[in-house]
Amino acid sequence: MINFPDLVTIPLAAWIDAAMSWLLRNMDGFFEVIGFIILQVVLGFEGLFLFVPWFIWIPLIGLAGWKLVGRWRTGLMFMIMLFLIGAFGYWEMAMLTLSLVIASVFFSLLIGIPFGILMARNDRAESILKPILDGMQTMPSFVYLIPALMFFGMGKVPAMFATIIYAVPPVIRLTNVGIRTVDVEAVEASKAFGATSRQVLFDVQLPLAKPSIMVGINQTTMMALAMVVIGSMIGARGLGMEVLLAINRIEVGRGFEAGMTIVFLAIIIDRITYSFSERNKKDLR
């Protein structure tokens, strides 16, 4: 075996650390403001989810399953799942996790859709963003926890920050693809009638790209759920933390219950957001 020469080293880690500490020193106020906004939004959602009692949530979600997904059996299945979550004793935890997910998705869309639009309308932006998005999607999710921790310390906000960054690529990507694959003639028609670029966007490109954007939202939501669970490692209270504790204490049963709760949430969220994208496709046909 020949070792790699010790003389050749690139101190990338040191550079990044330096950059981070520079950011921390100089951009402190900035991160504080961002953290504050994120926190307010998630607290708002938490308030809502915990305020509405379980006996309203369960039929409501059942109804959504029936009406949106299209079969009453789906609605019934949703209700049973939610009931089981309550029976496991994880209702509150589930609601906390859910608010984290929804708040993160909210921010991801707020960032992702404009970036997707930019990427679709500007070839240069696409060529710059594409490799970045590729990189982001291949990066292991834990990695996002590190800068989040450094900027925001422990707790909900860093978990959400990491989640937002982790979950944003699909919605950017699919907004871009959606807009780029809109019928060329429809766009041309709009332009031919003298539409401004704003009118083209809102009259044609976004409505026709909606099914694709909805698929992006669905994927972003699922990724957010996965990341929120991991985010528990840095102190966001919720189902992930339960799993983590169960692992540490080797309590298989508890871990299983928490795990099942996450799966149930995932199924419900997935089906409901997926139904939105299908519905839009049908309308456009």
Nearer to another protein, 147 or 207 (CB): 207
Q: Is 86 in the site for another protein (CB under 8 A)?
A: no
Nearer to another protein, 126 or 203 (CB): 203
Choose the stretch contacting another protein; rule: CB under 8 A; options: 87-95, 105-113, 128-136, 194-202: 194-202
Pattern of binders to another protein over 167-186, x per CB under 8 A?
A: ----------------x-xx
Nearer to another protein, 16 or 189 (CB): 189
Q: Which of 58, 94, 172, 208 binds another protein (CB under 8 A)?
A: 208
Q: Is 32 in the site for another protein (CB under 8 A)?
A: no
Count of residues binding another protein (CB under 8 A)? Answer: 20
Identity at 81, one-letter amino acid code: M
Nearer to another protein, 139 or 189 (CB): 189
Q: Which of 7, 53, 131, 285 binds another protein (CB under 8 A)?
A: 285
Nearer to another protein, 136 or 195 (CB): 195
Q: Which of 86, 155, 207, 235 binds another protein (CB under 8 A)?
A: 207
Q: Is 193 in the site for another protein (CB under 8 A)?
A: yes
CB of 183: closest distance to another protein in angstroms?
7
Q: Is 188 in the site for another protein (CB under 8 A)?
A: yes
Nearer to another protein, 6 or 185 (CB): 185
CB of 158: closest distance to another protein in angstroms?
40
Q: What are phi and psi of 230, to 5 degrees?
A: -65, -35
Measured CA to CA, the distance from residue 88 to residue 85 in angstroms comes to 5
What is the CB-side half-sphere exposure of residue 87 using CA atoms within 13 A?
A: 9
Terminal Cα distance for the chain, rounded: 63
Q: Is 279 in the site for another protein (CB under 8 A)?
A: no
Q: In whole angstroms, how far apart are CA 247 and each of 126, 140, 270?
A: 42, 20, 26
Q: Is 212 in the site for another protein (CB under 8 A)?
A: no
**Encoding tokens for residue 135?**
């990189």
- Contact residues toward another protein (CB under 8 A) are 183, 185-186, 188-196, 199, 203-204, 207-208, 283-285
